[in-house]
Amino acid sequence: MKSCEAILRLSPLLLLLLIAPSSLALSSSDGYTINGRVKINGMGASTFGLPAKTSNTKVILNGGQRVSFIRPDGYFSFHNVPAGTHLIEVAAMGYFFSPVRIDVSARNPGKVQAALTENRRGLNELVLEPLSEEQYYEVREPFSIMSILKSPMGLMVVFMVFVVVIMPKLVENMDPEEMKRAQEEMRNQGVPSLSNLLPNNRS
Amino acid sequence: MSTSRVLLGFLILLFCVAPSLSLYEDQVGLADWHQKYIGKVKQAVFHTQKAGRKRVVVSTEENVVASLDLRRGDIFWRHVLGENDGIDQIDVTLGKYVVTLSSEGSILRAWNLPDGQMAWETFLQGSVHSKSLLSVQASTKMEKDSLLLVFGKGFLHGISSIDGDILWRKEFHGESLEIQKIFQPVDSDIVYAVGLVGTSEFHIYQISAKNGDILKHNSAVFPNGFYGEPSFVTNDMLVALDATRSSVILISFTGGDISFHQTYVVDFGQEFSGTATILPSKTVGFFAVKVDSTVLLMRVKGGNNLELAEKIGDPAVISDALFLSDSQQAFVTVQQDESTIHLTVKLDNDLRSGLLKESIKMDQQRGLIQKVFINNYVRTDRSHGFRALVVMEDHSLHLVQQGDIVWSREDGLASIIDMTTSELPVQKDGVSVAKVEHNLFEWLKGHVLKLKGTLMLASSDDIVELQGMRLKNSERNKMTRDHNGFRKLLIVLTKAGKILALHTGDGRVVWSLLLPYLRQSGACQHPLGLNIYQWQVPHHHALDENPSILVVGRCGTDTDAPGIFSVIDSYTGKERKSLRLSHSIAQVIPLPFTDSSEQRLHLIVDTEKHAHLYPRSREALGDFLHEISNIYWYSVEADKGIIRGHSLRGNCFLEVADDYCFDSQVLWSIVFPSESEKIAAAVTKKLNEVVHTQAKISADQEVMYKYISKNMLFVATVAPKASGDIGSVTPEEAWLVAYLIDVVTGRILHRVTHMGAQGPIHAALSENWVVYHYFNLRAHRYEMSVIEIYDQSRADNKDVWRLLLGKHNLTSPISSYSRPEVAVKSQTYFFTHSVKTMAVTSTTKGITTKQLLIGTIGSQVLALDKRYLDPRRTLNPSQAEREEGIIPLTDSLPIIPQSYVTHSLQVEGLRRIVTIPAKLESTTLVFTYGVDLFFTRIAPSRTYDSLTEDFNYALLLLTIIALLIAIFVTWVLSERKDLRDKWR
């Protein structure tokens, strides 16, 4: 919808031009012609046509029955399409396009009905825009102290620092009698305790 | 002590969750490789006039139009047209557009020569089947618009080459007229169209190039009739064969008057008495006739006289002519003996002495030369140099220049028919296959670089060096078996009848073999490779033998053509045994038995329903007779709508007694009503699939036993009306019925109907579930359904007391003849894309969770967790269900861009995805082929059983050193403190 409005505001003349070719043209023999346009937002300004990386964009009718390519201005067309309800897909690397349902009516030649199948949004014009861009790779996190600390090694270091620096402080703050009792208990159990390893247990 | 224990626990825990789900950009190429191909070249047009990039534009049998770098053979750009959009002809016009005529002359497209962007497209209407011809005006005036003449669907069109506008069109199909040639002489406004009515009436039209009006029309009848199509000799002369193929007829039409001139081939020598064929070539004043095995090069001299210019022994190929100047043309003839090809460039005014003679060594496995295209360049001393593009029998493409092959492209790999894998040899002591291992310093350096990389401290140079180091990691390209089972040979069979072994490490060709029986010969005009199987996989008894593969094919396109059977050594690529079978091949069934040398027993069923046992040895026969009562198979006759189950009955009744031939009988058959159902897909399990757990325990301690049977077949039928494409029927007329069938008894385990659904159907069957993809006409979206099937008869076994008391049926033999009660769970989800093919990951032990690999219409491969296709997904899963890993229900399946296994690459023309288990349980090897090849390895549940390749040993080492220093420092500090305390 948005795209169509955008064109509308751009120039009514352009719209007039668009309506005529973008709808269905009646052909004398056994089929109709579907004309449409692919629009990919480039850097900043939204433009028809294609950024460089998508020169291999294909427009596919009915799951591979026909394959069409797009022109530099974004137009594509399928000829000799029988009346019925069809499906158009756009295959462009780096973009996610919703398939489009196209109704080619035999009774009202020249009438086009298109709707995105993903979100059931109707299209006044057959202007196909990507729903989103696709990133195929994970993005490496930039270097930060937190990521180092979160890594296994970082956690090890943090733990060591904790044992070396903070534990003695904790032990020092304890009541000496209580500590003695605890040490005795541990000795009785015969379990090597953490405090045994610490420098101040001999004091 | 406890500290270290805690630390160790910590470490183990942390390593286990090391992320490796998707790829970082710098990991591309570490485990995967991608190769781009184009297929067998049909036509080539050179574009070398201007300075700068020299290129050749080609069209191929895989419907590819591509621009190749003439220096190195790389692809500048490439377009794969639709499956039924075959390219008829290509040409270059205005020096900037590549024009392709496709779809039997109904679509004309122009592509920008530098970047391959489509410039314009014109649809040519018409409904008559006719030849499709494209002619580009060879104008010397570059700046002007040049006219394209296109004949297709019974109409001749004059088309502007700037924007593709149709300037005029003229109908030419009345009275069974078949236009054979169109052409326009240089700088003339008259277009000639030449056609035949029937086989004897010759017509010539002169048409105005401005508006398409017919200026002149002449016709003449040649009473004996023509054979085949005429070909041009000069601008006012054609040559054709008469109906008996014994004489050559020159047809001259100077000024519109048609005259015939007949010359018998025998006149050129008594030995040329066989039937003649005119070889297609475009050389002014010359044509080539092939009689028996000799090619006669004829020259037209002064009006209607023919002169035998040269005799060339077969096999020989002649290129089209190349104009060096207005009056001089050159062409190349290529002859071939055993392993060399002899290239002779000749000038038309001096035939006897070739301008250039070159002999080039060519690998014998490339077969005979098929086509040659010639191009010239001007050397520094102003003389002419020539280069030739050569297409060989194995579809490979070579550029030959100055007696050397400049580059080769293995384009046979664009048309793989079937593939299998083979293990590499075990590394033995003393046999050093690997290259020199790098030393400790390099190892450390690599890890320091890696460390810098992880800490984001590396400079761009470091990153480049690191990437290079990673990519040429010699470890993955060794020719020996590895511990993880990542290194294997992928053995592929191509349409050209060539077998190639690719290394999984980097995709290089290890060996190749052009199968003699799959080459065109007198006994076998249209050989066709069918399938490739593992014939012998030694692991226990016959370890000193090399593994081997079996290739089956047939001699002709009919199903009842006699079969071809060949066994090939997987290490050396030498043929061990090959046979032309006396019977046809309808089905090949690898049996689960091997003989003492571990050759797998195979049953080949012919079209008369006789089963033939291979290998033909007494021992194999003995083993086989022992198990004969347990052998069942099924056949699907999709066109008749019948599925039959078969078993063996005893030896065949043939004139010649054959102990290895068995008669079969039909045990059961399922006949689908032809007025309402048509078989659209039949999918079975992979033979080597391993299932680890038989039961599934749900969150509420409920045990469900999977119904696991190797004999399960998924069949989908559609309404006959809806068997066409999307858009041809309304939802009311379409339905899809999915069946799960046990193929031993013919029992239908489950049947479900989807109203308003139609194909194409793609399905994947694994363990106890099947997933299938189809089109829902009501919602007008694709859907994927899952069916999981559970065995109810064993559901009672969850009581511990019954297990203790032995009142359970766990030990009772599982037989296909028992009729267990089954329960089915199913669910349906929307899926966005069209699907080309579908596969399931497979691992050695079957413990790792499965992923579906979906080949989408954009030629990418998407990995989708089976968990998304769980029929037990609910809107609000309970806490227990969430713990079990059940995802809240959504109506459509998610497409996460990071889970494309092909990441930012496309496997153009994608046809099939093959999964191969590695030895490492977590990992599956994935090989994808179409026009391109792509190989990677994936770990559906991450690599939980090994450290990732990115694991940084240097960081580990550094940490340990840091810890040791810390211990030492604290020890010194504590000593000092002690001392101080004592002095106090």
Domain layout of chain B by residue ranges: 421-427+485-583, 437-477, 586-671, 952-984
* A72 and B CB contact within 8 Å: yes
| Nearest CA distance, A63 vs chain B (angstrom) | 5
C-beta atoms of A138 and B85 within 8 A = no
> Residue B592: how many CB atoms within 10 A of its CB?
11
CB under 8 Å, gap of 24 or more: what pairs does B301-305 form?
A: B303/B252, B304/B250, B304/B252, B304/B259, B304/B261
Query: Tokens in use for B581?
Result: 């079978």
**d(C-alpha B595, C-alpha B613), whole Å:** 12
Q: Identify the closest residue of chain A to B972 by CA–CA distance.
A: A199
SS3 for B125? Answer: coil
Pick the residue of B11, B14, B450, B934 with the most A CBs within 10 A to test the interface with A by mutation. Answer: B14
Looking at the partner chain, which of B25, B726, B836 has a beta carbon nearest the beta carbon of A87? B726
C-alpha B286, offset from chain centre = 39
Q: Decide if A64 is inside a domain.
A: yes
Weakest mean pLDDT among B29-38, B399-408, B686-695: B686-695
Question: What value, to the nearest 5°, has the Cα angle with vertex B331 and ends B328 and B334?
Answer: 160
The DSSP element (H or E) to which B463 belongs, if any, is helix B460-471
pLDDT at B808: 62
| Nearest CA distance, B159 vs chain A (angstrom) | 18
- Do residues B860 and B34 touch, judged by C-beta distance below 8 A? no
Convert the pLDDT of each residue in A77-115 to its tens digit.
888 888 888 899 998 888 888 999 888 877 776 667 888
C-beta atoms of B859 and A91 within 8 A = yes
Convert the pLDDT of each residue in B493-543 to its tens digit.
999 999 999 999 888 899 999 988 888 877 788 888 999 999 988 876 666
Query: Tokens in use for B322?
Result: 């190349």
Specify burial of residue A105 (Cβ count, 10 A radius: 0-12, 13-18, 19+).
Answer: middle
Q: Decide if A140 is inside a domain.
A: no
| Nearest CA distance, B891 vs chain A (angstrom) | 11
Q: What is the mean pLDDT of residues B628-644?
A: 91
Residue numbers of A between 17 and 46 with CB closer than 8 Å to B:
27-30, 33
SS3 for A5? Answer: helix
Query: Tokens in use for B153?
Result: 């669907």
Residue that is written with structure tokens 């494309």 in the block: B900
The band of B104, judged by pLDDT with boundaries at 50, 70 and 90, is confident
The band of B816, judged by pLDDT with boundaries at 50, 70 and 90, is low
- Do residues B894 and B817 touch, judged by C-beta distance below 8 A? no
In this structure, are A125 and A163 located in the same domain?
Answer: no
Weakest mean pLDDT among A143-147, A195-199, B456-460: A195-199
Specify burial of residue B118 (Cβ count, 10 A radius: 0-12, 13-18, 19+).
Answer: buried
**d(C-alpha B222, C-alpha B226), whole Å:** 8
The band of B679, judged by pLDDT with boundaries at 50, 70 and 90, is very high
* A148 and B CB contact within 8 Å: yes
Cβ within 8 Å of residue B474, ≥6 positions away: B434, B435, B437, B438
Range of the domain at A24: 2-133
In this structure, are A171 and A103 located in the same domain?
Answer: no
| Nearest CA distance, A94 vs chain B (angstrom) | 8
Calculate Rg over the CA atoms of chain B.
34
pLDDT at B752: 94
Q: How many domains does chain A have?
A: 2
Cβ within 8 Å of residue A22, ≥6 positions away: A35, A36, A37, A112, A125, A126, A127
- Do residues B305 and B360 touch, judged by C-beta distance below 8 A? no
The band of A189, judged by pLDDT with boundaries at 50, 70 and 90, is low
**Boundary of a domain, candidates A133, A155, A182:** A133
C-alpha B191, offset from chain centre = 42
CATH number reported for the structural domain that contains residue A103 in this entry: 2.60.40
- Do residues B419 and B914 touch, judged by C-beta distance below 8 A? yes
Residue numbers of A between 95 and 114 with CB closer than 8 Å to B:
96, 98-99, 101, 104
Weakest mean pLDDT among B180-189, B382-391, B821-830: B180-189
- Do residues B239 and B262 touch, judged by C-beta distance below 8 A? no
- Do residues B517 and B580 touch, judged by C-beta distance below 8 A? yes
Q: Which of A120-124, B176-180, B580-584 has the highest mean pLDDT?
A: B580-584
In this structure, are A51 and A127 located in the same domain?
Answer: yes
**d(C-alpha B536, C-alpha B864), whole Å:** 34
In this structure, are A84 and A166 located in the same domain?
Answer: no
Q: Decide if A6 is inside a domain.
A: yes
Pick the residue of A121, A160, A197 with the most B CBs within 10 A to test the interface with B by mutation. Answer: A160
Query: Tokens in use for A1?
Result: 């919808």
pLDDT at B439: 63
Q: Find, among B841, B861, B843, the residue nearest to B851 by Cα.
A: B841
pLDDT at B122 over 50: yes
SS3 for B643? Answer: strand
**d(C-alpha A164, C-alpha B966), whole Å:** 9
C-beta atoms of B82 and A64 within 8 A = yes
In this structure, are A121 and A176 located in the same domain?
Answer: no
Query: Tokens in use for B391?
Result: 């297409």
pLDDT at A8: 31
In this structure, are A178 and A82 located in the same domain?
Answer: no
Kindly write down the DSSP assignment for every residue of B767-780, as one continuous string: TTEEEEEEEETTTT
Q: Find, among B943, B770, B765, B936, the residue nearest to B863 by Cα.
A: B936
C-beta atoms of A63 and B725 within 8 A = yes
Query: Tokens in use for B210?
Result: 């401005």
In this structure, are A15 and A41 located in the same domain?
Answer: yes
The band of A4, judged by pLDDT with boundaries at 50, 70 and 90, is very low
Query: Tokens in use for B201?
Result: 């009436």
pLDDT at B414 over 90: yes
Looking at the partner chain, which of B7, B15, B116 has a beta carbon nearest the beta carbon of A159? B7
**d(C-alpha B510, C-alpha B127), whole Å:** 49
**d(C-alpha B982, C-alpha B974), whole Å:** 12
Per 3-state DSSP, chain A is made up of helix, strand and coil in percentages (nearest 5) of: 35, 30, 35
The DSSP element (H or E) to which B853 belongs, if any, is strand B851-856
- Do residues A18 and A4 touch, judged by C-beta distance below 8 A? no
In this structure, are A103 and A194 located in the same domain?
Answer: no
In this structure, are A79 and A118 located in the same domain?
Answer: yes
Strand B64-69's sheet: what is its strand order? B41-47, B55-60, B64-69, B75-80
pLDDT at B188: 75
**d(C-alpha B438, C-alpha B374), whole Å:** 47
> Residue B165: how many CB atoms within 10 A of its CB?
12
pLDDT at B799: 63
| Nearest CA distance, A39 vs chain B (angstrom) | 16
Query: Tokens in use for B692?
Result: 């680890």
Q: What is the mean pLDDT of residues A137-147?
A: 73
Looking at the partner chain, which of B28, B727, B834 has a beta carbon nearest the beta carbon of A89? B834
Dihedral sign (CA B644, B648, B653, B657):
positive
Q: Decide if A167 is inside a domain.
A: yes
SS3 for B868? Answer: helix
**d(C-alpha B821, C-alpha B221), whole Å:** 78
C-beta atoms of B726 and A199 within 8 A = no
Q: Find, among B577, B521, B486, B553, the residue nearest to B393 by Cα.
A: B521
The counts of H helices and E strands in chain A are 7, 13
Residue that is written with structure tokens 């009503």 in the block: B673
Q: Decide if A139 is inside a domain.
A: no
**d(C-alpha B236, C-alpha B185), whole Å:** 10
Convert the pLDDT of each residue in A11-62 to its tens digit.
333 333 333 334 444 444 567 888 888 888 754 334 444 454 456 888 999 8
The band of B248, judged by pLDDT with boundaries at 50, 70 and 90, is confident
> Strands A32-41 and A127-128, how do they pair?
parallel
Per 3-state DSSP, chain B is made up of helix, strand and coil in percentages (nearest 5) of: 15, 45, 40
Chain pair A-B, CB pairs under 8 angstroms: 178
In this structure, are A98 and A191 located in the same domain?
Answer: no
Architecture of the domain defined by B421-427+485-583: Beta Barrel (2.40)
**Boundary of a domain, candidates A133, A162, A193:** A133
Peptide bond into B820 cis (omega under 30): no
In this structure, are A43 and A124 located in the same domain?
Answer: yes
pTM over 0.95? The answer is: no
- Which stretches of B235-368 are assigned E, i.e. beta strand? 237-242, 247-252, 259-264, 276-283, 286-291, 294-301, 305-313, 316-318, 322-323, 329-337, 340-347, 356-361
* A190 and B CB contact within 8 Å: no
ipTM of the modeled complex: 0.83
Convert the pLDDT of each residue in B867-889 to its tens digit.
899 888 888 888 888 888 888 88
pLDDT at B491: 95
- Do residues B708 and B670 touch, judged by C-beta distance below 8 A? no
| Nearest CA distance, A40 vs chain B (angstrom) | 16
The band of B800, judged by pLDDT with boundaries at 50, 70 and 90, is low
Query: Tokens in use for B661?
Result: 């031939």
DSSP state for residue B184 in the 8-state scheme: -
Phi (first) and psi of residue B795, to 5 degrees = -65, -20
In this structure, are A196 and A162 located in the same domain?
Answer: yes
